[in-house]
Structure 1
Amino acid sequence: RAAAMSLQDIKRSPTFLVGTQQQKGILDEFHRQEQHFTEEYQKNKPLCFSARAYQQTHPAKVRMGYKDADATLTSPMLLGVCDGVSQLEEFNMDPSLLPNELLRTCEELAMMQLMPDMPVSPQDAYRGPISLLKEAYEASESYGSTTVLLAALDNSTRIHGKLHPMIAVLSIGDCELLMLRRTNGRQSDLEAVFHTEMQRIDYNVQTPLQLARVDGRIDEDFDESIALEVIEKGSAVHCVSAYEGDILILGSDGVFDNLFLDEIVEICNEILGPSGQKEFTPMPPSQLSQVAQRIVKDSHAKSDAKNGHFLDTPIGKGGKVDDTSVVVAEIVEWTEAHREIWSQVRRNKKWSSVLSCGVPCAGVPCYAACQAESDDDRRAGAKSRGGGDNSSQYSDSDEDDRPACAIA
């Protein structure tokens, strides 16, 4: 009987017609909910990142003598985090070389391809994050293996003829990105609106998908074509709309294995409260630095026993003892001051050592030639590209002691 049941015997759940007046009411409600986004959208203006980074080797790994192989990138149109494989030290390789070279090369390409209102030749045109990373890998020479997370801000996208900036997120491995937004108006709390997921082999916290270049000492079967295939086929790519005031958190697995998303959101709301003004006001860079440092500090605290008890984490009690790197960025308007400064940097080809120093310059963060790659800084352990804070180099109280700006 059951087998012979016909389609006529199955009760059909109909789709009901929505009347004109009801649809108008729904559209009015949508308009009220999205009004502050629509206002930003109608301004038809390019955007950029205002970002700070912070990274720190876990104290337990320092005691064991492990090298920090993380690298971060903060530049106006491209953010990045790479988490190098420290195990390569066992083969007398420096695991930090490939992550740093990859991000440095990505930064140079982004300066050529993504800067608003700057002429770009057809061969240098931006073709998406996969092409950018592939080109950076092919231009690099360092050996190593690393996870990769990039966020590229593309100001060329348009909807109905109006500028509508988009962020392309590329992930290989277990670094993650979290986007926050004040969805209920400028004076509301930040809420999570987008989050990437980790790529791990067999769900093992120690075996993320990764981008590598190694020799026969490590893998006799390695060929660079495999690495290019990882970029082309293994990259997780997402595109999301960008609005002024959005907050992005990019972190290594040391962040997202130890902190729940709501803990990160709570930190951001505690430090990055609403401005109290009707018009959007960018956050001071010092507050972005404070968020980054707090996230790293709280991540490390999760793996320390409290009164003999370990705290809950996304991967279980006690979390993961790991180097931790984070980039905290706010999306702000790309202004004439930005344009003048970066045009000069681009002409002089100084972008391979550029940072956002956080010093007010013509009303915006001043982007200047960075001295952070001096021998002294390398001895101090600074690995952050484009404005990252070293694990002990800066604190909230020494914000005024940062290098002076000098475009040269």
Structure 2
Amino acid sequence: MLAGSYYIPKYNESKPLGEDSHFICAEKQTFGVADGVGGWAKKGIDPGEYARELMDNAVFAIEDQPMGGVNPMAVLNEAFLNTEAQGSSTACILTLKGNVLHAVNIGDSGFVLIRDWKIVYKSPVQHRRFNCPLQLGNWRDNPSMAEELKVGVIPGDIVVAGSDGLFDNLYESEIEELVSQGVNDGKFPADLASTIAQFALINSMDNCAISPFTIAAQEAGVEFIGGKIDDITVVVAYIASPDY
């Protein structure tokens, strides 16, 4: 699994690092995404601090895991127990074991699996209500609320993971098209992640767009039109043959 990433924090002078965080551990074939819940800012707490500490602790936890045997749930549990920052965050951690992608996910960060330019799997979203995802935190949910997922993969498959800033602003068909074009153009994972993130950013700033977030809002009885301005994290991973 060859992975690369791109991150666009929404502009905020007081929070230049944004509220998302992520990591890629190529040696252990594992990566993760977290999105600090923005509501904490109303209490004077930087939502990104929890997400960053959670992902840092996930990397430390992975170091203790055996090669080819990373357990995403165990990693998430250890990271959660060692995170002391105030706040809360969604989280998605994925690892490749042989021909199976193992993942643990809580909230509305997540991933899609693309095969032959079509999305064949999308991780479930966990919401309490519209725009309020399940979230890890010392006063919120814990890893027992997370879903463990297993998806078979074959060489040539592509994984696109990200925070809700990605999925709220790009339709599945748009992600499929961007991936198809990017791979045909010979883009490396990080370059493709950048392209996808930039398109999500453009859509997020379109006040007239009928975005995925617009549709979700309307289904919840909330009046909203346009993209959703948010931090945007994208991780792209190419599934290669074992002898690549």
CA distance in 1, matches of 2:134, 2:232: 18
Q: Which runs of 5+ in 1 are unaligned?
A: 1-48, 117-124, 156-164, 183-189, 214-221, 275-282, 336-363, 365-408
CA RMSD of aligned residues (A): 2.3
Provide the TM-score with structure 2 as the length reference. 0.84
| CA gap 1:138/1:304 in 2 versus in 1, 3 angstroms | closer
- For 1:115, the equivalent position in structure 2 comes to 67
CA distance in 2, matches of 1:271, 1:332: 16
| Alpha-carbon shift at residue 295 of structure 1 (Å) | 1.4
- For 1:235, the equivalent position in structure 2 comes to 146
For residues 45-91 of structure 1, the C-alpha deviation after alignment (integer angstroms, 9 at most, x for no partner) is: xxxx2111111123xx437x555110011122211110012332343
For residues 304-344 of structure 1, the C-alpha deviation after alignment (integer angstroms, 9 at most, x for no partner) is: 34xxx612211224121111111111123566xxxxxxxxx
- Conserved? CA contact 1:72–1:326, under 8 Å: no
- Conserved? CA contact 1:302–1:310, under 8 Å: no
- For 2:176, the equivalent position in structure 1 comes to 265
- For 1:194, the equivalent position in structure 2 comes to 121
Q: 1:137 aligns with which of 73, 77, 80?
A: 80
| Alpha-carbon shift at residue 245 of structure 1 (Å) | 2.3
- For 1:88, the equivalent position in structure 2 comes to 40
Identity of aligned residues (%): 27
Q: 1:72 aligns with which of 4, 22, 28?
A: 22
CA distance in 2, matches of 1:111, 1:66: 29
SS of aligned partner of 1:312? coil
Q: Which moved more, 1:261-270 or 1:323-332?
A: 323-332
Equivalent residue runs for 1:360-371 within 5 Å: none
Judging by fraction of residues, say which structure has more strand. Answer: 2
Q: 1:330 aligns with which of 220, 238, 244?
A: 238
| Alpha-carbon shift at residue 267 of structure 1 (Å) | 0.2
CA distance in 2, matches of 1:98, 1:237: 22
Q: 1:315 aligns with which of 196, 208, 213?
A: 213
- Conserved? CA contact 1:66–1:86, under 8 Å: no
| CA gap 1:111/1:166 in 2 versus in 1, 3 angstroms | farther
- For 2:92, the equivalent position in structure 1 comes to 149
- Conserved? CA contact 1:79–1:150, under 8 Å: yes
| Alpha-carbon shift at residue 192 of structure 1 (Å) | 1.3
- Conserved? CA contact 1:84–1:147, under 8 Å: yes
CA distance in 1, matches of 2:54, 2:180: 32
CA distance in 1, matches of 2:57, 2:105: 17
Q: 1:167 aligns with which of 98, 101, 124?
A: 101
- For 1:292, the equivalent position in structure 2 comes to 193
- Conserved? CA contact 1:98–1:142, under 8 Å: yes
- Conserved? CA contact 2:21–2:48, under 8 Å: yes
- Conserved? CA contact 1:181–1:191, under 8 Å: yes
- For 1:210, the equivalent position in structure 2 comes to 135
- Conserved? CA contact 2:107–2:127, under 8 Å: yes
For residues 217-251 of structure 1, the C-alpha deviation after alignment (integer angstroms, 9 at most, x for no partner) is: xxxxx3xxx64xx311x212210113222211001
| Alpha-carbon shift at residue 265 of structure 1 (Å) | 0.6
- For 2:218, the equivalent position in structure 1 comes to none
SS of aligned partner of 2:184? coil
| Alpha-carbon shift at residue 263 of structure 1 (Å) | 0.2
Equivalent residue runs for 1:28-107 within 5 Å: 49-58=1-10, 61-62=11-12, 65-67=14-16, 68-76=18-26, 77-107=29-59
Q: Which runs of 5+ in 2 are unaligned?
A: 215-224
- Conserved? CA contact 1:114–1:154, under 8 Å: no
- Conserved? CA contact 2:30–2:93, under 8 Å: yes
| Alpha-carbon shift at residue 146 of structure 1 (Å) | 0.4
Number of residue-to-residue matches in the alignment: 231
Q: 1:254 aligns with which of 155, 159, 165?
A: 165
| CA gap 1:53/1:91 in 2 versus in 1, 3 angstroms | same
SS of aligned partner of 1:310? coil
CA distance in 1, matches of 2:8, 2:210: 21
- Conserved? CA contact 1:78–1:107, under 8 Å: no
SS of aligned partner of 2:230? coil
| CA gap 1:149/1:333 in 2 versus in 1, 3 angstroms | same
| CA gap 1:101/1:333 in 2 versus in 1, 3 angstroms | farther
Off by >6 Å, runs of 4+ in structure 1: none
- Conserved? CA contact 2:23–2:32, under 8 Å: yes
- Conserved? CA contact 2:205–2:228, under 8 Å: no
- For 1:120, the equivalent position in structure 2 comes to none
